[in-house]
Amino acid sequence: MFVCVCLCVLLQDAIARRAAVRARADASVDSVLVRILWALRTMLTDHDTNKAAFGVDGIPAAMLVLGLPYPEMQEAAMAVLVAAVSDVPSNCRKLLHDTDGLASLIAIAEGRVPGTPAPTDSKPSAKVSQRAAYPSR
């Protein structure tokens, strides 16, 4: 469990560095973060104690990574989240409710970066009035 907590701290530190750098030219931070995420996924797989420890602060940290516009980081963060919520209902609830994870997952499925607005349809609405759908006899 101590190692899981240490990795969560490293993950948060790497996220903070990434946010401070904001330049894609610094690939070293990216590669370190991706490696930390994959190591964390390995530690969570089939280990309930690590999953419980990760559920405290790790899920919001992994959600921050999903908000970055880099597919390799999003993939690793998604793998961590899958490992963290597998067979742990409290982590699943935390992901879907407490961190607004459902909206982020929908954004990724739509090919958007989480937190960006959904595209609006410029097509007219196809609503049919009750009277037109069911004419009186």
Per-residue model confidence as pLDDT tens digits over 60-107: 888 888 878 788 888 898 899 999 999 999 988 888 877 677 787 788
**pLDDT for the residue numbered 131:** 53
Residue 134, in any domain of the structure: no
Q: Is there a contact between 91 and 59 (Cβ–Cβ < 8 Å)?
A: yes
Per-residue pLDDT at 135 exceeds 90: no
Taking the complete model, does pTM exceed 0.75, yes or no? no
The per-residue DSSP string of 107-118 comes to: HHHTT--TTSPP
Cα(131)–Cα(29) distance, integer angstroms: 61
Q: Is there a contact between 95 and 60 (Cβ–Cβ < 8 Å)?
A: no
Tell me how many domains the chain contains.
1
Residue 33, in any domain of the structure: yes
Residue ranges making up the domain that contains 15: 2-112
